Chain A
Amino acid sequence: MAPRPRDVAVIVAFGVALIATVVSPWWGRDRLGAADVGGGARGLLPGLVQPGDTVLVHPPWRDDVVAALRAPGALPLPAGVVVTEAFTRRHGDPWPSLVVVAEGVHPWPASLENRRVALGVDVTERAGLRVFRLPGDVAPRDVVDVGRATVRVERGDGSVVACPWDTERRRHVCRGLGPWMTVGAETMQIAGQKAGCTWSHPITGGRLVVDYGRVDLASAVAFEAALSDVAADNTQGAPVTFTVRVDDVARTLTVHRARGFARLDLPATGTAHVVVEVATSHDGQRHACHRFNTGGAP
């Protein structure tokens, strides 16, 4: 009597699953050593990488490849290019420009593939490597440059804490204070939407001072400040006051229990010295940020 088709199907399904289980580790192994990837990358990357790019080595466990590519003289790359396997991005944040170097056998994340397809970028394959460049999102022109600002915390007891720029974290970090005491670009949930702004968390009884130096205010500018939605919804949270000093003129803006950006129009004054001060009576969950937008009332 011939076996029933259903029985055959069940036996085959389990057989395939067991075989796949056995071969899975072998199938998922790395095919290329660090030196092979480095050699291949040397042939593929120099014409592809542009200043400011991040070279993303994929899959993320190939720190040996990163070390090989970072070795002195291993790879001639434009200034400011970082080679890393440790890249993460929050959903909704702008994309940096990436050059992906991936070993051919391993898949890559759907977010990366979706962006590649959306941008119509082709993959170059050679010697077991797959390489492609994804241009970053174009950021709007900033009125101020937080990277060039001088940041400090003036504490309630009169002491001052400097917050130097940390090149790796790309933000000012107030040494010795809580990990949230930084100033830098951030994407926050504000009024139900992702919004880019400059993270500027206040400190209880003190002032966070962000000194932008001389800023071109040839046209009207809107100063905007907000709490994250979670912080705005917190009924126990204290008000946060932003003081914007344009030369000798100070204007204040307070954000408290309302979602969304509060706005302060700064008139066109030509070049002026701009300082932002952030203060609160209690800093519990005061996830605050600010930004300058062109297009303020004249």
Chain B
Amino acid sequence: MSALRRLRARLGDDVIAATVLATLVLVVHLLCLPSQALTDDDDFYAPAGIRAADWLVELVTSPTTALSRTGIDAAFAINHEHPPFAKLVFGVAHHLFHGVLGWFHALDGARTGTVLFVVAMVWVMVRWLWRPLGPTATVASVALLLTMPRFFLHSEVATLDVPVAAMVFVTAALFERAGDRVRAGVVVGVVFGLAAATKLNAPFAALPCVALVLLERWRAFRVAHADDATPTATVRLPPIPPALWAMALVGPVVFLLVWPWLWPDPLPRLGGYLAFHLKHYPIYLFFDGEIWERPFAPGRASLVMAAASLPLVTVVAATIGAVIAGRAVVTLVGGSPPAGDVAAPRVRILALCLLQAVVAVAVVAVSNVPRYGGEKLFMPFFPFAAILGGVGVAALVEALQRTARTTRPAVAVVVIALVAAPGVRGIVDTFGGFALSYYGEVVGGLRGAVARGYERTYYDMADKRLARLLDEQAAGLRVHMVPNHKEYVRTWRWLRKDGVLRRDGFIVEAQLERADIVVLSHERRWSTYPALRERLRGWTVLAEQRVDGVPLWTVYRHPT
């Protein structure tokens, strides 16, 4: 027996495939990460994570100081409007990949934390899907997720969106696998608590889990009529999986334990956290040719962005997968046995993925919250959409094999390559900081989106091409960035710190009137954009970044 066969026999194909694919994802992202642009959120979460990780060290070296109110506040006051789990991972990753191994600059070291979330998610995804859905759907799911251009960028920046997507995904997978086992259910509760400690939208992952249980076990509802033995009528509920109990009971405990900021004043600080998000300050969104602040942009903006930010082939694949998953829901509702037993794993997985995908977008679309930042608020949608897409691709492979009367695996390989190709092209075209300008063919690409009045980019700008260009052409000159200078320069500090920019390069100038060079980001959500565009028309254009002919930023030199 060869070594590979022995390994397969020992570990199983799913473990080997999960490890291979997760390693591939790790390598790809670690190679690409140093070239990736900075977002303005990097500067919020990376420093918070590094400080939180320092606190972990303090906890070992001087626990009394670390656990004092002063010690906790010093470590966790920064960015306390968001819970700490992902930031702790960023901080530990920073210390490991930057401090210990020296592989990355300071910020990139922290950003490897996000990559670790993606790698864990892919590993779980393959383990979860391999047997119930088969290798084709599994590999296609990973391929589609990895080749979503915007998700690709989000996977390499220190923000909470991909981490919460990963945690929601792992929670859902473990929940489905747990069934009625108590110990597995407790694990689900712990992971759910960590997900809630990642970002505020994680708890909504419980809704599809509850819905799955209701769909599966609704027949077990019983009404016992009153009789001589029992004088009042009673309602008997279906058996509730231990995982749901654990999500409700263990999850909040883990949430509190993971977030030291809450410890000194649990209720006031928890109240402050919730109040901050319930009354979130408005953030501009440019949609349908209008700037939306208050009222918030319409709910359909989320639906449009969900479809428009994916390649058309992925949308078609996911739609076919959603139809198949819809049939699984029907099967679940109509076919579950009266005793409330669990259905086949494939049926449960498909139904749960559909429910999670729908809820992830619907929560943003129907709630009274500012809908900003394109797709970032419903990032948990994408892994589930990828799985639905993978199911659609598997349906295509089976259809082709039946039609051509072949069972050759090459059909699957070619089909997966073909459906992943548009996403790969999108990543290549927008790599290095322009992925948030990616729009799929559903809306005619970036040009169609901009013509329809959707925003061409967000998260401000700090791509390294622009940084190096300014280093070369603006050394010693005063540079001002519009329309949102104060946010842009916050992020640019990291480029200086990490050596991407020379320390004696250009001078950041707070006033446009005093600037020699002005960088205009063509973000139309700023009401000052038209006037700035007019003002700079007479200036000399030094450089311009266009994607598909659409300008994203322009560097102007003062005419005198």
Contacts of B317 in A (CB 8 A): 14
CB-based closest 8 A-B pairs: A109-B289, A109-B453, A7-B399, A86-B533, A59-B451, A17-B316, A24-B441, A110-B288
Q: Are A90 and B534 in contact, CB atoms less than 8 angstroms apart? A: no
Query: Quick check: B402 and A4 within 8 Å, CB to CB?
Result: yes
Q: Mark A197-234, 1 if CB is under 8 A from B, else 0.
A: 00000000000000000000000000000000110010
Chain B residue numbers with a CB within 8 Å of A10 are 320, 392, 395-396, 399
> In the complex the two chains form, what is the Cα distance from A28 to B449 in whole Å?
11
Contact segment of B86-94, B97-105, B521-529: B521-529
Nearest residue (CB) in A for B405 is A1
Interface check B166, CB cutoff 8 A: no
User: Which chain A residues lie closer than 8 Å to B402 at the CB level?
Assistant: 3-4, 7
Q: B residues 385-428 with Cβ under 8 Å of A? A: 392, 395-396, 398-400, 402-403, 418-419, 422
Distance in angstroms from B435 CB to nearest chain A CB is: 17
Distance of A201 from chain B, by nearest CB (Å): 15
Give the distance to chain A from B479, nearest Cβ to Cβ, in Å: 17
Tell me if B182 counts as interface (CB < 8 A to partner A): no
Given contacts A4-B402, A230-B281, 16 further A-B contacts (CB under 8 A): A14-B396, A17-B316, A24-B312, A86-B524, A88-B529, A89-B291, A90-B292, A92-B295, A107-B444, A108-B289, A108-B453, A109-B288, A109-B453, A110-B452, A111-B453, A175-B513
- Rounded to whole Å, the gap between the CB of B450 and the closest CB of chain A is 6
**Which of B209-217, B264-272, B342-350, B547-555 lies at the interface?**
B547-555
Is B12 engaged at the interface, CB distance under 8 Å to the other chain?
A: no
Asked whether B290 is an interface residue with its Cβ less than 8 Å from the other chain, the reply is yes
- What is the interface of chain A mostly: helix, strand, loop, or mixed? mixed
Known A-B contacts A84-B533, A86-B529, A109-B289; A7 and B452 likewise in contact (beta carbons under 8 Å): no
Write 6 A-B pairs (CB below 8 A) sorted by A numbering: A20-B441, A60-B451, A84-B533, A86-B530, A88-B530, A176-B513
Within 8 A of A (CB), among B250-309: 279, 281-282, 286, 288-295
Is A235 part of the binding interface, using a Cβ–Cβ cutoff of 8 Å? no
A63 to B402, CA, bound (A): 52
By size class, the interface of chain A is 35 or more
A89: chain B residues within 8 A (beta carbon): 289-291
**A11:B403 contact, CB within 8 angstroms:** yes
Judged by a CB distance under 8 angstroms, whether B122 is at the interface is no
A interface footprint on B525-546 (CB within 8 Å = 1, 0 otherwise)? 1111111011100000000001
With beta carbons under 8 angstroms apart, the residue of B293, B294, B447, B534 that contacts A28 is B447
Q: Does chain B have a CB within 8 A of A145?
A: no
Please tell me the number of chain B residues within 8 Å of chain A, measured between CB atoms: 57
A90-B291 contact given A20-B441, A61-B450, A84-B534, CB 8 Å threshold: yes
Which chain A residues lie closer than 8 Å to B441 at the CB level?
17, 20-21, 24
Cβ-defined contact, A11 with B396, below 8 A? yes
Interface check B242, CB cutoff 8 A: no
Contact B452 A84 (CB under 8 A): no
Contacts of A59 in B (CB 8 A): 447, 450-451
Asked whether B282 lies within 8 Å of A108 as measured between CB atoms, the reply is no
B530 and A87 within 8 A (CB): yes
Bound together, the chains give a CA A255 to CA B551 distance in angstroms of 43
Contact status B403-A7, CB under 8 Å: yes
A110 in contact with B453 given A14-B317, A18-B313, A18-B418 (CB within 8 Å)? yes
Instruction: Report whether A3 and B403 are in contact in the complex, using a CB–CB cutoff of 8 Å.
Output: yes
Asked if B422 contacts A28 (CB within 8 A), the reply is no
Query: Does chain A have a CB within 8 A of B338?
Result: no
Q: A28-B445, A111-B290 are in contact. Are A14 and B549 (CB under 8 A)?
A: no
* Contact digits for A1-23, partner B, Cβ 8 Å, 1 yes 0 no: 00110111011011011101100
Q: Are B316 and A14 in contact (CB under 8 A)?
A: yes
Contact B447 A106 (CB under 8 A): yes
**Other-chain residue from B290, B291, B315, B534 in contact with A86 (beta carbon distance below 8 A):** B534
Q: How far is the CA of A106 from the CA of B529 in the complex (A)?
A: 22
Q: Is the CB–CB distance between A91 and B295 below 8 Å?
A: yes
Q: Closest approach, in angstroms, between the C-beta of A59 and any C-beta of chain B?
A: 4
Would you call A137 an interface residue if the criterion is a C-beta within 8 Å of the partner chain's C-beta atoms? Answer: no
A166 to B525 Cα, complex, angstroms = 21
Please tell me if A35 contacts chain B, counting CB pairs below 8 Å: no
B7 to chain A, nearest CB (A): 35
